[in-house]
Amino acid sequence: MSVVVVGGGVVGMFTAYYLRKEGIEVTLVESNGLGHGSVHAAGLIEPYRFDRINTTQMVAKMFNYMRRGITKVRKINKEWLSQLLLTLNREPPPESWEIMKEMASFSLREYAKMSEERDDFGYSQEGLYEVYGSKEKIEEAIQEERRSPFRSKVEVRDFQGFAGALYYPELSHVSTELFVERMKRELNGIKLVKAKANSIYGSTVNTQSGEVKGDTVVISTGISLSSILPITAFKGYGYRVKGTGTNVPAVLAEEGVAVVPLKNWFKVTWGFEADYGPELSSLRENPLVKVESVVDATCGHRPCSPDGFPILFKKGEVVVATGNCRLGWSYGPAMGKYAADLALNRVDRYPYLDRYGLRDGPLVLG
Protein backbone atom coordinates (compact mmCIF):
# COMPACT_ATOMS: atom_id res chain seq x y z
CA MET A 1 0.00 0.00 0.00
CA SER A 2 1.15 3.57 -0.65
CA VAL A 3 0.11 6.80 1.02
CA VAL A 4 0.80 10.38 -0.07
CA VAL A 5 1.00 12.84 2.82
CA VAL A 6 0.54 16.44 1.68
CA GLY A 7 2.03 18.99 4.12
CA GLY A 8 5.06 18.26 6.27
CA GLY A 9 4.32 20.33 9.37
CA VAL A 10 4.12 18.61 12.75
CA VAL A 11 0.91 16.72 11.83
CA GLY A 12 2.23 15.56 8.44
CA MET A 13 5.59 14.54 9.91
CA PHE A 14 3.93 12.39 12.58
CA THR A 15 1.55 10.87 10.01
CA ALA A 16 4.49 9.88 7.80
CA TYR A 17 6.37 8.60 10.88
CA TYR A 18 3.59 6.21 11.96
CA LEU A 19 2.91 5.04 8.39
CA ARG A 20 6.58 4.34 7.89
CA LYS A 21 6.68 2.28 11.10
CA GLU A 22 4.00 0.07 9.51
CA GLY A 23 6.17 -0.47 6.45
CA ILE A 24 3.92 1.60 4.21
CA GLU A 25 5.36 3.29 1.12
CA VAL A 26 5.11 7.00 1.97
CA THR A 27 5.52 10.04 -0.27
CA LEU A 28 5.55 13.40 1.50
CA VAL A 29 4.70 16.50 -0.56
CA GLU A 30 5.87 19.69 1.17
CA SER A 31 6.14 23.11 -0.47
CA ASN A 32 8.98 24.25 1.81
CA GLY A 33 11.28 22.22 4.07
CA LEU A 34 10.16 19.48 6.45
CA GLY A 35 8.66 21.09 9.57
CA HIS A 36 8.48 24.48 7.86
CA GLY A 37 4.94 25.32 9.01
CA SER A 38 5.50 24.34 12.64
CA VAL A 39 9.08 25.11 13.64
CA HIS A 40 8.35 28.62 14.99
CA ALA A 41 6.35 27.13 17.92
CA ALA A 42 7.36 27.28 21.58
CA GLY A 43 7.44 23.48 21.76
CA LEU A 44 5.24 23.25 24.86
CA ILE A 45 3.55 19.86 25.01
CA GLU A 46 0.53 21.12 26.85
CA PRO A 47 -2.58 19.27 25.63
CA TYR A 48 -4.37 19.87 28.95
CA ARG A 49 -4.39 23.62 28.28
CA PHE A 50 -6.95 23.16 25.50
CA ASP A 51 -9.42 26.06 24.98
CA ARG A 52 -12.74 25.95 23.22
CA ILE A 53 -12.87 28.88 20.79
CA ASN A 54 -16.61 29.25 20.23
CA THR A 55 -17.43 30.64 23.66
CA THR A 56 -18.41 34.15 24.73
CA GLN A 57 -15.50 34.05 27.17
CA MET A 58 -12.98 33.34 24.40
CA VAL A 59 -14.45 35.98 22.08
CA ALA A 60 -14.26 38.52 24.97
CA LYS A 61 -10.61 37.52 25.53
CA MET A 62 -9.87 38.21 21.84
CA PHE A 63 -11.54 41.64 22.03
CA ASN A 64 -9.52 42.38 25.17
CA TYR A 65 -6.29 41.40 23.33
CA MET A 66 -7.32 43.65 20.41
CA ARG A 67 -8.06 46.59 22.71
CA ARG A 68 -4.62 46.20 24.31
CA GLY A 69 -2.91 45.97 20.92
CA ILE A 70 -1.78 42.35 21.55
CA THR A 71 -3.75 41.04 18.60
CA LYS A 72 -4.72 42.49 15.20
CA VAL A 73 -7.38 41.37 12.74
CA ARG A 74 -6.31 41.49 9.08
CA LYS A 75 -8.04 38.53 7.46
CA ILE A 76 -10.54 35.96 8.69
CA ASN A 77 -12.08 33.02 6.83
CA LYS A 78 -15.78 34.03 6.67
CA GLU A 79 -16.91 30.41 6.79
CA TRP A 80 -14.94 29.96 10.04
CA LEU A 81 -16.55 33.07 11.55
CA SER A 82 -20.03 32.05 10.54
CA GLN A 83 -19.55 28.52 12.00
CA LEU A 84 -18.17 30.05 15.21
CA LEU A 85 -21.21 32.33 15.59
CA LEU A 86 -23.68 29.59 14.67
CA THR A 87 -22.27 27.30 17.38
CA LEU A 88 -21.44 29.97 19.97
CA ASN A 89 -21.63 28.51 23.49
CA ARG A 90 -22.96 25.19 22.17
CA GLU A 91 -21.59 22.42 24.39
CA PRO A 92 -19.68 19.79 22.43
CA PRO A 93 -20.89 16.21 22.99
CA PRO A 94 -19.28 14.16 25.80
CA GLU A 95 -17.45 11.94 23.26
CA SER A 96 -15.50 14.99 22.04
CA TRP A 97 -13.87 15.27 25.46
CA GLU A 98 -13.24 11.54 25.65
CA ILE A 99 -11.31 11.56 22.40
CA MET A 100 -9.36 14.69 23.35
CA LYS A 101 -8.30 13.12 26.66
CA GLU A 102 -7.22 9.97 24.84
CA MET A 103 -5.25 12.01 22.27
CA ALA A 104 -3.67 14.14 24.99
CA SER A 105 -2.32 11.22 26.98
CA PHE A 106 -1.20 9.37 23.83
CA SER A 107 0.77 12.44 22.69
CA LEU A 108 2.41 13.06 26.06
CA ARG A 109 3.47 9.39 26.20
CA GLU A 110 4.81 9.32 22.65
CA TYR A 111 7.19 12.26 23.15
CA ALA A 112 8.47 10.60 26.34
CA LYS A 113 8.95 7.32 24.47
CA MET A 114 10.76 8.96 21.57
CA SER A 115 13.11 10.72 23.97
CA GLU A 116 13.83 7.42 25.78
CA GLU A 117 14.75 5.90 22.41
CA ARG A 118 17.10 8.81 21.70
CA ASP A 119 17.49 11.94 23.80
CA ASP A 120 18.20 14.32 20.91
CA PHE A 121 15.39 16.89 20.80
CA GLY A 122 15.66 18.82 24.06
CA TYR A 123 12.79 16.92 25.68
CA SER A 124 12.08 17.85 29.29
CA GLN A 125 9.30 16.82 31.64
CA GLU A 126 9.73 19.64 34.10
CA GLY A 127 6.15 20.93 33.78
CA LEU A 128 4.86 24.36 32.83
CA TYR A 129 4.21 27.59 34.76
CA GLU A 130 1.28 29.82 33.76
CA VAL A 131 2.26 33.14 35.29
CA TYR A 132 -0.14 35.85 36.51
CA GLY A 133 0.24 39.48 37.54
CA SER A 134 -2.59 39.56 40.11
CA LYS A 135 -4.16 37.30 42.74
CA GLU A 136 -7.63 37.85 41.17
CA LYS A 137 -6.43 36.49 37.82
CA ILE A 138 -4.93 33.44 39.55
CA GLU A 139 -8.23 32.82 41.32
CA GLU A 140 -10.13 33.12 37.99
CA ALA A 141 -7.66 30.70 36.37
CA ILE A 142 -8.12 28.18 39.20
CA GLN A 143 -11.91 28.36 38.84
CA GLU A 144 -11.55 27.81 35.09
CA GLU A 145 -9.19 24.90 35.66
CA ARG A 146 -11.75 23.26 38.00
CA ARG A 147 -14.25 23.28 35.10
CA SER A 148 -11.78 21.65 32.70
CA PRO A 149 -12.76 18.12 31.63
CA PHE A 150 -9.06 17.12 31.54
CA ARG A 151 -8.73 17.08 35.33
CA SER A 152 -4.98 17.55 35.02
CA LYS A 153 -2.75 18.03 38.04
CA VAL A 154 -2.25 21.71 38.84
CA GLU A 155 -0.72 23.57 41.81
CA VAL A 156 -0.53 27.24 42.77
CA ARG A 157 3.09 28.26 43.16
CA ASP A 158 5.10 31.41 43.84
CA PHE A 159 6.85 32.94 40.85
CA GLN A 160 9.44 35.62 41.41
CA GLY A 161 8.38 39.09 40.23
CA PHE A 162 4.72 38.05 39.75
CA ALA A 163 1.61 37.46 41.88
CA GLY A 164 2.07 33.73 41.32
CA ALA A 165 1.60 30.92 38.85
CA LEU A 166 -0.39 27.81 38.12
CA TYR A 167 2.04 24.93 37.78
CA TYR A 168 1.18 21.93 35.56
CA PRO A 169 3.61 19.16 36.61
CA GLU A 170 2.52 16.65 33.94
CA LEU A 171 3.41 18.82 30.94
CA SER A 172 6.62 18.71 28.96
CA HIS A 173 8.47 20.63 26.25
CA VAL A 174 10.75 20.01 23.29
CA SER A 175 12.99 22.04 21.04
CA THR A 176 10.95 22.25 17.83
CA GLU A 177 14.14 22.87 15.81
CA LEU A 178 15.83 19.72 17.17
CA PHE A 179 12.63 17.73 16.82
CA VAL A 180 12.42 18.57 13.10
CA GLU A 181 16.02 17.32 12.76
CA ARG A 182 15.04 14.11 14.57
CA MET A 183 12.08 13.63 12.22
CA LYS A 184 14.35 14.14 9.20
CA ARG A 185 16.39 11.18 10.47
CA GLU A 186 13.28 9.10 11.27
CA LEU A 187 11.85 9.77 7.81
CA ASN A 188 15.08 9.13 5.98
CA GLY A 189 14.21 6.89 3.03
CA ILE A 190 10.68 8.08 2.37
CA LYS A 191 10.11 9.91 -0.89
CA LEU A 192 10.10 13.65 -0.29
CA VAL A 193 8.62 15.84 -3.05
CA LYS A 194 9.42 19.51 -2.60
CA ALA A 195 6.51 21.12 -4.42
CA LYS A 196 3.31 23.00 -3.77
CA ALA A 197 0.24 20.80 -4.13
CA ASN A 198 -2.42 22.69 -6.04
CA SER A 199 -5.29 20.22 -5.88
CA ILE A 200 -6.25 16.69 -4.91
CA TYR A 201 -8.71 14.55 -6.81
CA GLY A 202 -9.34 11.03 -5.53
CA SER A 203 -5.89 9.74 -4.64
CA THR A 204 -4.03 11.91 -7.15
CA VAL A 205 -2.21 15.03 -6.01
CA ASN A 206 -1.52 17.69 -8.62
CA THR A 207 1.64 19.57 -7.75
CA GLN A 208 3.68 22.30 -9.41
CA SER A 209 6.03 19.61 -10.64
CA GLY A 210 3.56 16.97 -11.81
CA GLU A 211 1.20 14.34 -10.42
CA VAL A 212 1.85 12.23 -7.34
CA LYS A 213 -0.38 9.17 -6.81
CA GLY A 214 -0.98 6.81 -3.91
CA ASP A 215 -3.73 4.50 -2.69
CA THR A 216 -4.69 7.12 -0.11
CA VAL A 217 -3.87 10.80 0.40
CA VAL A 218 -3.58 12.51 3.81
CA ILE A 219 -3.95 16.30 3.65
CA SER A 220 -2.24 18.09 6.54
CA THR A 221 -1.47 21.45 4.96
CA GLY A 222 -2.62 23.67 7.86
CA ILE A 223 -4.17 26.96 6.80
CA SER A 224 -4.13 26.16 3.09
CA LEU A 225 -7.14 23.96 3.95
CA SER A 226 -9.09 27.22 4.50
CA SER A 227 -10.34 26.95 0.92
CA ILE A 228 -12.22 23.72 1.64
CA LEU A 229 -12.89 23.74 5.41
CA PRO A 230 -13.83 26.35 8.06
CA ILE A 231 -10.21 26.86 9.09
CA THR A 232 -8.74 30.28 9.78
CA ALA A 233 -5.19 31.46 10.48
CA PHE A 234 -3.96 32.90 13.76
CA LYS A 235 -0.46 34.11 13.23
CA GLY A 236 2.30 34.17 15.84
CA TYR A 237 6.05 34.66 16.11
CA GLY A 238 8.89 32.49 17.34
CA TYR A 239 12.37 33.80 18.14
CA ARG A 240 15.35 31.80 19.30
CA VAL A 241 17.46 34.07 21.50
CA LYS A 242 20.58 33.93 23.67
CA GLY A 243 20.62 35.69 27.02
CA THR A 244 19.75 35.14 30.66
CA GLY A 245 16.38 34.42 32.18
CA THR A 246 13.89 31.94 33.57
CA ASN A 247 15.13 28.40 34.15
CA VAL A 248 11.63 26.93 33.87
CA PRO A 249 9.19 27.08 30.91
CA ALA A 250 6.63 29.78 31.54
CA VAL A 251 3.70 31.45 29.83
CA LEU A 252 2.76 35.04 30.68
CA ALA A 253 -0.94 34.28 30.66
CA GLU A 254 -2.21 37.84 30.28
CA GLU A 255 0.20 38.71 27.44
CA GLY A 256 0.20 35.39 25.58
CA VAL A 257 4.02 35.26 25.65
CA ALA A 258 5.81 31.91 26.19
CA VAL A 259 9.46 31.55 27.18
CA VAL A 260 11.11 28.13 27.08
CA PRO A 261 14.69 27.71 28.32
CA LEU A 262 16.62 25.16 26.22
CA LYS A 263 20.23 23.98 26.41
CA ASN A 264 21.74 26.53 24.02
CA TRP A 265 19.00 29.15 23.64
CA PHE A 266 15.63 30.40 24.82
CA LYS A 267 12.55 30.14 22.66
CA VAL A 268 10.29 33.20 22.90
CA THR A 269 6.88 33.06 21.20
CA TRP A 270 3.84 35.34 21.15
CA GLY A 271 1.08 36.71 18.92
CA PHE A 272 -2.45 35.60 18.03
CA GLU A 273 -3.27 37.70 14.97
CA ALA A 274 -6.00 36.95 12.44
CA ASP A 275 -3.57 37.19 9.54
CA TYR A 276 -2.40 34.96 6.68
CA GLY A 277 0.61 37.16 5.80
CA PRO A 278 4.31 36.21 6.03
CA GLU A 279 5.61 39.41 7.67
CA LEU A 280 7.69 39.12 10.82
CA SER A 281 7.29 41.32 13.88
CA SER A 282 10.13 42.70 15.99
CA LEU A 283 10.96 40.80 19.17
CA ARG A 284 8.42 41.23 21.97
CA GLU A 285 10.30 42.26 25.10
CA ASN A 286 9.27 40.46 28.26
CA PRO A 287 10.44 40.20 31.87
CA LEU A 288 11.28 36.47 31.66
CA VAL A 289 14.40 36.77 29.51
CA LYS A 290 17.06 39.43 29.03
CA VAL A 291 18.07 39.06 25.40
CA GLU A 292 21.71 39.40 24.32
CA SER A 293 21.37 38.22 20.72
CA VAL A 294 18.85 36.72 18.31
CA VAL A 295 19.66 33.31 16.79
CA ASP A 296 16.79 33.33 14.30
CA ALA A 297 13.21 34.51 13.89
CA THR A 298 10.20 32.86 12.25
CA CYS A 299 6.45 33.19 12.14
CA GLY A 300 3.69 30.65 11.73
CA HIS A 301 -0.06 30.36 11.28
CA ARG A 302 -2.16 28.31 13.66
CA PRO A 303 -4.82 26.41 11.70
CA CYS A 304 -7.90 26.97 13.90
CA SER A 305 -11.28 25.29 13.62
CA PRO A 306 -14.35 27.26 14.78
CA ASP A 307 -14.56 25.40 18.10
CA GLY A 308 -10.85 24.66 18.64
CA PHE A 309 -11.24 20.88 18.33
CA PRO A 310 -9.21 19.11 15.64
CA ILE A 311 -10.71 18.05 12.32
CA LEU A 312 -9.80 14.48 11.39
CA PHE A 313 -11.78 12.28 9.03
CA LYS A 314 -11.69 10.18 5.90
CA LYS A 315 -13.81 10.60 2.78
CA GLY A 316 -13.17 8.19 -0.07
CA GLU A 317 -9.41 8.02 -0.55
CA VAL A 318 -8.74 11.29 1.28
CA VAL A 319 -7.93 11.79 4.96
CA VAL A 320 -7.94 15.33 6.37
CA ALA A 321 -5.96 16.15 9.54
CA THR A 322 -5.92 19.74 10.79
CA GLY A 323 -7.47 22.37 13.07
CA ASN A 324 -5.33 22.05 16.20
CA CYS A 325 -4.94 25.81 16.50
CA ARG A 326 -2.47 26.65 19.29
CA LEU A 327 -1.86 23.00 20.23
CA GLY A 328 -0.58 21.33 17.04
CA TRP A 329 2.62 20.14 18.72
CA SER A 330 0.75 19.01 21.81
CA TYR A 331 -1.61 16.79 19.82
CA GLY A 332 0.79 16.07 16.92
CA PRO A 333 1.58 12.43 17.79
CA ALA A 334 -2.10 11.52 18.19
CA MET A 335 -3.08 13.43 15.04
CA GLY A 336 -0.42 11.55 13.08
CA LYS A 337 -1.23 8.11 14.51
CA TYR A 338 -5.00 8.55 14.15
CA ALA A 339 -4.62 9.89 10.58
CA ALA A 340 -2.39 6.93 9.74
CA ASP A 341 -5.01 4.51 11.15
CA LEU A 342 -7.71 6.14 9.00
CA ALA A 343 -5.47 5.89 5.94
CA LEU A 344 -4.86 2.19 6.67
CA ASN A 345 -8.61 1.56 7.13
CA ARG A 346 -8.07 0.42 10.71
CA VAL A 347 -10.82 2.77 11.89
CA ASP A 348 -13.74 4.32 10.02
CA ARG A 349 -14.15 7.49 12.02
CA TYR A 350 -13.38 9.30 15.23
CA PRO A 351 -16.42 10.67 17.08
CA TYR A 352 -16.94 14.41 16.67
CA LEU A 353 -13.67 14.96 14.77
CA ASP A 354 -15.59 14.26 11.53
CA ARG A 355 -18.16 17.03 12.09
CA TYR A 356 -17.25 18.82 8.82
CA GLY A 357 -17.41 17.22 5.40
CA LEU A 358 -15.74 17.69 2.02
CA ARG A 359 -17.54 18.67 -1.15
CA ASP A 360 -17.34 16.33 -4.13
CA GLY A 361 -14.91 17.03 -6.95
CA PRO A 362 -11.30 18.28 -6.95
CA LEU A 363 -10.08 19.81 -3.68
CA VAL A 364 -8.27 23.03 -4.51
CA LEU A 365 -5.87 24.14 -1.77
CA GLY A 366 -5.56 27.83 -0.86
Ligand X SMILES: Cc1cc2nc3c(=O)[nH]c(=O)nc-3n(C[C@H](O)[C@H](O)[C@H](O)COP(=O)(O)OP(=O)(O)OC[C@H]3O[C@@H](n4cnc5c(N)ncnc54)[C@H](O)[C@@H]3O)c2cc1C
Q: Which residues bind ligand X (CB under 6 A)?
A: 6-12, 29-32, 36-38, 40-44, 196-197, 220-222, 224, 236-238, 269, 271, 300-303, 322, 324-330, 365
How near is the Cβ of 108 to ligand X at its closest, in Å?
11
Under a CB-based contact definition with an 8 Å cutoff, are residues 325 and 302 in contact?
A: yes
Query: Minimum distance between the CB of residue 9 and ligand X, rounded to whole angstroms?
Result: 2
Smallest separation, CB 197 to ligand X (Å):
4
Q: How far is the CB of 139 from ligand X (least distance, A)?
A: 25
Is the CB of 163 or the CB of 227 nearer to ligand X?
Answer: 227
Nearer to ligand X, 164 or 236 (CB): 236
Minimum distance, C-beta of residue 135 to ligand X, in the bound complex (Å): 26
Compute the least distance from the CB of residue 257 to ligand X, in Å.
10
Q: Which is nearer to ligand X, 163 or 283 (CB)?
A: 283
Nearer to ligand X, 94 or 202 (CB): 202
CA count, 13 A, side-chain hemisphere, 38? 36
Smallest distance, ligand X to C-beta of residue 172, A: 11
CB of 163 or CB of 254, closer to ligand X? 254
Cβ proximity to ligand X, 2 vs 227, nearer residue: 227
Instruction: Tell me the residue type at 273.
Output: E
| Spatial CA neighbour of 321 closest among 353, 352, 346 | 353
**135 or 248, CB closer to ligand X?**
248
In whole angstroms, how close is the CB of 252 to ligand X at the nearest point? 13
- What is d(CA 218, CA 332) in angstroms, rounded to the nearest whole number? 14
3-state secondary structure the chain: CEEEEECCCHHHHHHHHHHHHCCCEEEEEECCCCCCCCCCCCCEECHHHCCCCCCHHHHHHHHHHHHCCCCCECCCCHHHHHHHHHCCCCCCCHHHHHHHHHHHHHHHHHHHHHHHHCCCCCCECCCEEEEECCHHHHHHHHHHHHHCCCCCCCEEECCCCCCEEEEECCCEECCHHHHHHHHHHHCCCCEEEECCEEEEECCEEEECCEEEECCEEEECCHHHHHHCCCCEEEEEEEEEEEEEECCCCEEECCCCEEEEECCCCEEEEEEEEECCCCCCCCCCCCCCEEEEEEEEEEEEEEEECCCCCCEEEEECCEEEEECEHHHHHHHHHHHHHHHHHHHCCCCCCCCCCCCCCCCCCCEECC
Query: Which residue's CB is nearer to ligand X, number 23 or number 278?
Result: 278
Nearer to ligand X, 159 or 272 (CB): 272
- Amino acid letter at 1? M
- Nearest distance from C-beta of residue 192 to ligand X, angstroms: 11
Q: Least CB distance from residue 41 to ligand X, whole Å? A: 3
Q: Are 156 and 167 in contact, with CB atoms under 8 Å apart?
A: yes
Q: How many angstroms separate the Cα of 106 from the Cα of each of 19, 47, 98, 111, 200?
A: 17, 10, 12, 9, 30
Residue 179 or 352 with smaller CB distance to ligand X: 179
